[in-house]
């Protein structure tokens, strides 16, 4: 009982320690491990440990997870092709996220950049727009469709026939959107400078080439404050900076590899 009481005391004090607080055979759990699991000392409160029983429950949870993992390994599940594939997918995703996080670390707009952008685009943050779009991977096709639209072709019909986005079935209808919702600043800038019934030029984003049509617009009610608008601007500028940094890094990386594409082979399977 004295040992368990010591465990509870260790868990209740948010101080990093390599002292073992639980073990299963040769596998151990330390307070440092706990901090890593919960994302740091600032999250200690969410463990909800206020008693010896609570400490035991937390440790028992880890023990049960560990014995099941060991049982899975001992049974050879980690050699199962289906399991290995899932593990590999998870490994790739973790590496991708960690690599991109390293690229964009510390990237953020200055307060002056936020204020200057908000001053220029302020009115676009005070309205919503009912938007349709056509998204393509081929810029030449996008320009061709834009010419047809300018000549009078039906936007929704072309979206249904050519757009590769999930909204194509609805004639490219994205519904009502506000600034910051598309995820691409260039898309929003093009869309929210249009009047009702107007169609944009071809707009490039990280997703492809867009043709945008604004069906109608309306003022937001209640109207967002300048400070609220600046918060959205800060988020948009940060996302744009991060995307630009990642794409620049990709351009450099691709130059160091021999890359061959066979789109015709892919098309044979579709």
Strand, coil or helix: 88: helix
Rounded-to-integer distance, Cα 142 and Cα 203, Å? 9
- pLDDT single digits (tens) 54-97: 899 989 999 999 999 999 999 999 899 999 999 999 999 999 99
Sequence ranges of the domains in the chain:
2-79, 120-236
Alpha helices in 105-219 (DSSP H): 111-121, 139-150, 155-162, 185-192
What is the per-residue pLDDT for 59?
Answer: 93
Q: Is the pTM of this model over 0.75?
A: no
- pLDDT single digits (tens) 127-185: 999 999 999 999 999 999 999 999 999 999 999 999 999 999 999 999 999 999 998 99
- 119, 102, 131, 7: which is closest to 63 by C-alpha? 7
DSSP per residue over 198-222, as a string?
-B---EEETTEEEEEEEEEEEE-SS
Strands 203-205, 208-219: pairing is antiparallel
Distances (CA, A) of 152 to 46, 70, 145: 60, 66, 11
Confidence band of 119 (pLDDT split at 50, 70, 90)? very high
- CATH number of this structure's domain 120-236: 3.10.50.40
Rounded-to-integer distance, Cα 172 and Cα 198, Å? 15
Q: Which residue has the tokens 């890593």?
A: 36
């Amino acid at each position: 009982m004295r040992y368990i009481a010591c465990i509870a005391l260790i868990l209740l004090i948010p101080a990093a320690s390599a002292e073992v607080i639980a073990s299963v055979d040769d596998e151990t759990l330390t307070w440092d491990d706990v901090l890593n699991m919960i994302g740091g000392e600032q999250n200690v409160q969410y463990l909800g440990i206020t008693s010896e029983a609570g400490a035991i429950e937390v440790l028992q949870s880890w023990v049960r997870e560990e014995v099941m993992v060991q049982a899975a390994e001992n049974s050879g599940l980690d050699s199962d092709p289906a399991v290995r594939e899932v593990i590999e997918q998870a490994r790739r995703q973790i590496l991708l996220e960690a690599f991109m996080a390293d690229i964009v670390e510390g990237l953020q707009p200055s307060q002056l950049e936020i204020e200057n952008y908000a001053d220029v685009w302020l009115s676009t943050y005070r309205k919503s727009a009912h938007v349709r779009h056509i998204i393509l991977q081929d810029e030449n096709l996008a320009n061709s469709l834009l010419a047809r639209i300018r000549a009078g072709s039906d936007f929704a019909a072309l979206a249904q026939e050519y757009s590769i986005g999930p909204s194509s079935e609805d004639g490219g209808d994205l519904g009502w959107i506000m600034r910051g919702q598309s995820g691409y600043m260039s898309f929003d800038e093009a869309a929210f400078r249009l009047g009702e019934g107007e169609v944009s030029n071809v707009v490039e984003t990280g997703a492809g080439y867009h043709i945008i049509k604004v069906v109608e617009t309306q003022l937001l009610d209640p109207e967002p404050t300048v400070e609220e608008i600046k918060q959205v601007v800060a988020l948009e500028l940060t996302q744009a900076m991060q995307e630009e940094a990642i794409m620049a890094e990709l351009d450099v990386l691709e130059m160091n590899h021999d890359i061959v594409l066979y789109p015709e082979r892919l098309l044979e399977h579709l």
